[in-house]
Amino acid sequence: MLPIRFSIPRSLAAVSRPSQSIAGRACTSFATRRLSSQASAAAVRRIGSTVPITAARNFPRIGVRSISTTHSFRLKEESPAPPPEDDLRIYSFEDVYKLANNPEPTRLLVDVREPHELKKTGELPNSVNIPLETSPDAWFLPEEAFQDKFGFEKPSLDTELVFSCKSGVRSSSAARIAKMAGYRNTASYKGSWLDWAKNTGAPTY
């Protein structure tokens, strides 16, 4: 008897081959995803073992320990506060009144207004006039030049200088300039001539 041969139609063969190919690709894809997942887990374990997470609790969680930091965060150092301006002694009307009526050799009352201002109001009793605007360098002058310019001997550096002007602005500036020139004891009359006129009835401008 002759063997019987069966022939498979080409359409069936074409269907069987793609089905095998699809199955193979599915297996390969599954294996790839599994390996990738295992590699990711291993990487996370390595990172987690080397990165401290003590600071992570203060940060929102994004991923697995991904926000844990190896950096040390340093709080912003506060810049040192600017040094306070030197204390400037302030004289009241009572203080100046006592000094004007009872002058002392170690204390000098200095009016820093300009001569034309003094003509309108008069001067503080027992004061000397050293105008600030026209003679800002007065306290830096040598003794001889000082005496030639103002007509009296330059005060020694240990003399207390009490400055006055119209309202207390120029007197404060003059007191600080004198301190820069080496005078350790300087003061400013708060309110100056306006305060003096208010309390004594002297003319003002």
Which of the following is catalytic: 110, 165, 174, 187? 165
Alpha-carbon distances, residue 155 vs 52, 60, 92, 118, 120 (angstroms): 71, 71, 23, 22, 27
Contact 92, 190 (CB under 8 A): yes
Order of all β-strands in the sheet with 89-91? 89-91, 186-189, 160-164, 107-111, 127-129
Alpha-carbon distances, residue 181 vs 13, 67, 76 (angstroms): 112, 61, 40
Task: Select from 165, 110, 96 the least CA-distant residue to 138.
Answer: 110
Q: Which amino acid is at 165?
A: C
Catalytic residue check, 165: yes
Whole-number Å distance between alpha carbons of 131 and 36: 89
Tokens encoding 108: 């000098």
Catalytic positions, please? 165
